[in-house]
Homo-oligomer: A and B are copies of this chain.
Amino acid sequence: MDDSPWLDDAEQRAWRRTAAVMTLLPAALDAQLQRDAGLTQFSYLTLAMLSETPGRTLPMSALAATVNSSLSRLSHVVARLEQQGWVTREPSPESGRVTVARLTEAGMEKVRETAPGHAAEVRRLIFDALDDEGVSSLACVTAAILGRLDPAGGMRANPLSREAHPDDDRSATG
């Protein structure tokens, strides 16, 4: 734990930049979504993940896992989304203790109209700044870091292996 606590110069440089990006990038993306759609990045992601799921339906805990949040956070957010009429909650017929969240048609429409602008902003802020090599560096580095975060999550078919399922519907992700 304190075997080698300090960072060398290269690491320090990398860390400071990373910290700055972690502050500014989410703020910028949130600002765009707030301005254009009145949504948080998190609530948008929640809608988007539902929109990509066959049946547009997921149990709360599955949804929580795909958006990397606690159940508590998700519960609060879905309550708000439900009030807006974008999501409904119903007890699962299969098990008395699971609640499934379902994206309504209005919610789907919201995603459809929000996605292009958000995708454009992601492109503008990230990918316009990177060449192909940059993109693959980013993928590598983030994969490596993800491996150390939430190692449990890393185990259960890491949250990214959605690449593996038929995911051609680009309507939502960005």
Contact = CB atoms under 8 A, between A and B. Distances in A.
How many copies, total? 2
A45 interface: yes
A35 interface: no
A5 interface: yes
Give chain A's interface secondary structure class. Answer: helix
Interface in A123-174: 123-130, 132, 134-150, 153, 159-160, 162-163, 170, 173-174
B13 A163 contact: yes
Contact of A119 (B5, B17, B122, B129): B5
Contact of A134 (B28, B120, B140): B140
Contacts of A127: 7, 11, 15
A71 interface: no
B146 A17 contact: yes
A24 interface: yes
